[in-house]
Amino acid sequence: MLPNLQTIFQSSFQTESGEYSNSLTEKEILLIFDNKLFKCFLPESLGGLNLGILDTLKIIEEASFINGSLGWLIQIGNGGNYFVTNFNEEKAREYFTPIDAVIAGSGTPTAVASITEGGYLISGKWRFCSGSEYATLFTVTFKIEGTEDVMSAVVKRKDVKIIQDWKTIGLKNTSTNTIELENVFISEDCLFTVMKRKSFFEDPIYDLPFLVYAQAFFLQVVYGTFRRMISTYKDQLEQNVNYQLRHSEKSLKASKMLEDASDLLMNSKSELESLVNSILKKEATDLTKAQLSLIEQAANIKKSANQLFTERGIEALYESNPFSIAYLDLLAVSQHKLLNELV
């Protein structure tokens, strides 16, 4: 049985007067930990819920419907669990078993490491590390001095300086900050690559290519925030327009746009589910074509969201409007490189 997120977060994201609030506090983070929502597909032996990939995707979408930042953080927390299989079992258990285990970090090689006895010395900065305020581990990607070799490694929180520079119009509560390392030693056993599996071979989720896996996770936040836009717009039409105006030309146009948006969302979700199933069943799949189709999905949903925002009129400009909050969160997600171009 899937966790009931509406129940778990029933007292969250609302003001004292009951209005929607775009606020994610330590209370919500603790609820995520307590309900193992950062460990949806991890096995019970690692403290996880042992859910399948499709159920994990549903949880991310539902969380994103409740609040975009909540969905993004749950997506990031689960997304980093892909690396479990890239460590030997002993290291995987050390890193991922704690109840508060969360990986933040970056896959962009923005630093150069020098070789030293037993490992590497590294200094540098990495931007856009979501969940930085409570992450227990961070991934960093770097080049080796004098070569074009690229490596990734896990570093502990104590070695990381967090630069609070996430000041954006969307996904405001995701602590997607820059991190900095200053002459940090990285031992050989902290290195990993998503191209090499070392443990937990039985879990089929790791059969998904990493880039498709990441795109699928990001798209759930797009789905959830888009669904929030549609739902909120429908509710606001019912609440704010009298019977006559609901049958006006403008209202009929808005209703048709909402119907088209709902169809687009349903078809997109079905397409992604079919793609995931085909890969897990080891059916022949053109991965480049698959990635392009997911990028096209994101573009089509963003286009529809822009149309809804325009049609919503002046009310969409109020930053406290749940419709507008969801819209800006969707824009923030859809700016990610993986949803815009092949990598």
Average pLDDT, rounded, for the chain: 94
Contact present, 75 and 60 (Cβ < 8 Å):
yes
CA 86 to CA 81: how far, in whole Å?
10
Q: Are strands 103-116 and 137-144 parallel, antiparallel or unpaired?
A: parallel
Domains of the chain, with CATH numbers? 5-96 (1.10.540.10), 103-192 (2.40.110.10), 208-339 (1.20.140.10)
Predicted confidence (pLDDT) per residue in 8-56, tens digit: 999 999 998 889 999 999 999 999 999 999 999 999 999 999 999 999 9
Encoded tokens for 309: 């925002």
pLDDT tens by residue, 208-228: 999 999 999 999 999 999 999
What is the rounded CA–CA span in Å between residue 311 and residue 79?
Answer: 35
Say if residues 212 and 291 touch (Cβ distance below 8 Å): yes
pLDDT tens for the 343 residues of the chain, in order = 899 999 999 999 999 888 999 999 999 999 999 999 999 999 999 999 999 999 999 999 999 999 999 999 999 999 999 999 999 999 999 999 999 999 999 999 999 999 999 999 999 999 999 999 999 999 999 999 999 899 999 999 999 999 999 999 999 999 999 999 999 999 999 999 999 999 998 888 899 999 999 999 999 999 999 999 999 999 988 876 554 555 677 788 898 999 999 999 999 999 999 999 999 999 999 999 999 999 999 999 999 999 999 999 999 999 999 999 999 999 999 999 999 999 8
Query: What does pTM read for this prediction?
Result: 0.96
Instruction: Give the residue from 294, 279, 216 showing the smallest Cα distance to 56.
Output: 216
Burial of 108-141, coded b for 16+ CB within 10 Å and e otherwise, reads ebebebeeeeebbebebbbebbbbbbbbebbbbb
